[in-house]
Amino acid sequence: MKEDIIAANNAAGRIGEETIAAFVAEPVTAVGGILLRPATYFPRIKATLDRQGILLVTYYVICALGRLGHCFGYKTTNVQPDTVSLAKGLQAGHPVATAAALADIDFIGKNSLLDRTSESGAFLLQNLKNASQHITVVVNVRGRGMLIGMQLARLDASEVSCKCLGLGLIGRALVGHNTVALAPPLIVTRANVLTVVETILQALSSSQQ
């Protein structure tokens, strides 16, 4: 974290803060390996940017519309960004796709899925940690809401991902930190969560044979 802030200061000094429009960041680095920032990271970055007159933009390809237990992931960062940017989630204005997106947003609100996501995500994270604590190929399990990453050692995340798919579970292999990412639907039940845990354990076991 300290290195990031120093790098931001150095970059601004080197190229001139007046030439920098904004600092763009994702609340959780998803494709990079489901990387979480310390609680003080964004407040310190925001303070640095404010001193230099640079905007903070949080952008969302994955971390919005409930995925982290909030409508927008910045709610987990302890800062208010200057602006937010949504990617594919609202379907780029295509009329039929946008109607589906609006219906989805309405469903999320009416069924309290933001609260459910926080609860179910914590349940999934804890169960995965408990189940994998003695599996030596699992480096760690981390995440927030319904966005969980399992970092592996001595096993290829792509192989484990393929094993998961064969067992009926979608787990995306991320090159960043050799991680298998899990992003269950927001409507997941506790029974579903336990099935996810059982399935990824089977995939890990099969991959080690």
Residue 45 sits in a domain whose CATH number is 3.40.640.10
Q: 57 and 132, same structural domain?
A: no
- Band of residue 79 on the pLDDT scale cut at 50, 70, 90: very high
- Both tokens of residue 39? 């609680």
Q: Domain limits at 86?
A: 2-110
- Predicted confidence (pLDDT) at residue 207 exceeds the cutoff of 60: yes
Domain boundary pick from 93, 110, 127? 110
State the pLDDT confidence band at 107, using cuts at 50, 70 and 90: very high
Instruction: Give the CA angle between residues 76, 47, 13 to the nearest 5°.
Output: 130
Residues 148 and 75 in one domain: no
Q: Do 125 and 202 fall within a single domain? A: yes
In this structure, are residues 127 and 194 in contact, taking their beta carbons and an 8 Å threshold?
yes
Asked if 67 and 184 count as a contact pair (C-beta separation under 8 A), the reply is no
> For the sheet containing 138-144, what is the strand order?
138-144, 147-152, 179-182, 172-174
Residues 126, 99 share a domain: no
Task: Clarify whether residues 55 and 151 are in a common domain.
Answer: no
Q: What is the mean pLDDT of the chain?
A: 91
Do residues 104 and 145 share a domain? no
List pLDDT tens digits, range 150-187: 999 999 999 999 999 999 999 999 988 999 999 999 99
- Contact status, residue 112 vs residue 186, Cβ threshold 8 Å: no
Q: Where residue 102 falls among pLDDT bands split at 50, 70, 90?
A: confident
Q: What is the DSSP string of 79-137?
A: S--SEEEE-GGGGGG-HHHHHHHHHHHHHHHHTTHHHHHHHHHHHHHHHHHHHHTT-TT
Burial of 64 (C-beta count, 10 Å sphere; 0-12/13-18/19+): buried
CB burial of residue 15 (10 Å; 0-12, 13-18, 19+): exposed
For 188, the 3-state DSSP assignment is coil
**What pTM, to 2 d.p., does this model score?**
0.88
Domain boundary among 75, 110, 145: 110
Q: Are residue 167 and residue 179 in the same domain, yes or no?
A: yes
State how far the Cα of 139 lies from the Cα of 9, in Å rounded to an integer: 32
pLDDT for 18: 83
Of 44, 53, 56, 62, which is closest to residue 4 (Cα–Cα)? Answer: 44
Instruction: Identify whether residues 18 and 99 lie together within a single domain.
Output: yes
What's the number of domains the chain is made of?
Answer: 2
CA 37 to the chain's CA centroid: 11
Amino acid at site 148? I
